[in-house]
Amino acid sequence: MANPQAELNNGPVAAAMLAAGIGCLVLGIITCLAQARKAIGAAINFYYPTGPLGGKTMVAIVAWLVAWAVLSSKWKEASVDFGKMFMVTLILVGLGLLGSFPLFFDLF
Amino acid sequence: MTLSLTYRETWAVIHGMMLGSLFLLAYAGGLAELINLSSVWSTEAGVIKRVRRLKIGTRVMAVVAWLTVITGTYIVYPWYRANPPAGADLTMFPRSLLLSKPETAEWHKFGMEWKEHVAWLAPILATAVAYMVTKYGVRLAKDAQVRRAVIVLFTISFCTAAIAGLFGAFINKAAPIH
């Protein structure tokens, strides 16, 4: 029988939303780091034909999926302040966009 | 009359004109469904139908977004960035061709550098949107806060894909994949 309380929980959707923001942020950070330190760019050059791009995106995807798994398990049956989580997500996505913008990451 | 494309051109078409365009075009339909989902404007049966279409549409868009970035990064991009051997015809090496002239260098330094990174935000956000729509279902019609969040993330996903698509089209015009 379905748990009526569980149906009201917004934790799982907030977890998916916030994890996406974290994934975007990590992509922005790793892009700046790879630009600032050539050694990092070389270290994440997992597949030579794509250069560091493949590694940057792989790191971001792993961070996103790990964050989603952790937050989902934590908020599986919880309700969170959705408005606050949405604002945090927008900030993380915004920072991710900034970090992946060439005029910004070329500063490093 | 012969209409032919090389193997590389075919993949560039699949990546940009088929998968990328499908994602961008589907956005308008998805946005209209989300905006019109408000329970004020819809009957209960109408909401159920709209949510069913939204679930299918957002899932398909997420899959298409992933296929677009994967084909772009792992199939087309290696041809774009390949280093030419000494004395090679640069028309077969788009990045080197762009960088060889000051008037086209920014297409790589700014356009391609932005496109290749920002494009990856689209599938991450599209997946979150698909999950939120699937998980929340008909409750989206009543919960304006969550619906607004879905619309905003959906729109950011579209914008990142549009930036990538726009620069992809321009760069392929300046230095095509052959």
Provide the pLDDT for residue A40.
95
Provide the pLDDT for residue B40.
67
Q: Do A51 and B81 touch (CB under 8 A)?
A: yes
Which residues in chain B are closer than 8 Å to A50, comparing Cβ atoms? Answer: 73-74, 77-78, 81
Report yes or no: A4 at the B interface, CB cutoff 8 Å. no
Provide the pLDDT for residue A1.
42
How confident is the prediction along chain B (178 residues), in pLDDT tens digits per residue? 788 999 999 999 999 999 999 999 999 999 999 998 876 667 888 889 999 999 999 999 999 999 999 999 999 999 999 999 998 999 999 999 999 999 999 999 999 999 999 999 999 999 999 999 999 999 999 899 999 999 999 999 999 999 999 999 999 999 999 8
Tell me how far apart the alpha carbons of residues A36 and A106 are, in angstroms, rounded to a whole number.
8
Q: Do A53 and B73 touch (CB under 8 A)?
A: yes
How much is the average pLDDT of A21-30?
Answer: 98
Provide the pLDDT for residue A64.
98
Provide the pLDDT for residue B3.
87
Cβ-Cβ pairs closer than 8 A, A with B, add up to: 86
Tell me how far apart the alpha carbons of residues B134 and B126 are, in angstroms, rounded to a whole number.
12
Tell me how far apart the alpha carbons of residues B78 and B33 are, in angstroms, rounded to a whole number.
38
Please determine, for residue A43, whether its predicted confidence score (pLDDT) is greater than 70.
yes
How much is the average pLDDT of A50-66?
Answer: 97
Provide the pLDDT for residue A8.
67
Write a three-state SS string for chain A: CCCHHHHHCCHHHHHHHHHHHHHHHHHHHHHHHHHHCHHHHHHCCCCHHHCHHHHHHHHHHHHHHHHHHHHHHHCCCCCCCHHHHHHHHHHHHHHHHHHCCHHHHCCC
Report yes or no: A13 at the B interface, CB cutoff 8 Å. yes
B→A contacts (Cβ < 8 Å), by residue, are: 69, 73-74, 77-78, 81-82, 109-110, 113-114, 116-118, 120-121, 124-125, 127-128, 131-132, 135-136, 139, 145-146, 149, 152-153, 156, 160
Question: What number of other Cβ atoms are within 10 A of residue B139's Cβ?
Answer: 16
Length of chain A: 108
Provide the pLDDT for residue A4.
46
> What value of ipTM does the predicted structure carry?
0.93
Provide the pLDDT for residue A2.
46
Provide the pLDDT for residue B39.
61
Please determine, for residue A52, whether its predicted confidence score (pLDDT) is greater than 80.
yes
Provide the pLDDT for residue B113.
97
How much is the average pLDDT of A17-28?
Answer: 98
Provide the pLDDT for residue B26.
94
Q: How many CA atoms lie within 13 A of B12 on its CB side?
A: 19
| Closest by Cβ to B132, choosing from A13, A31, A56 | A13
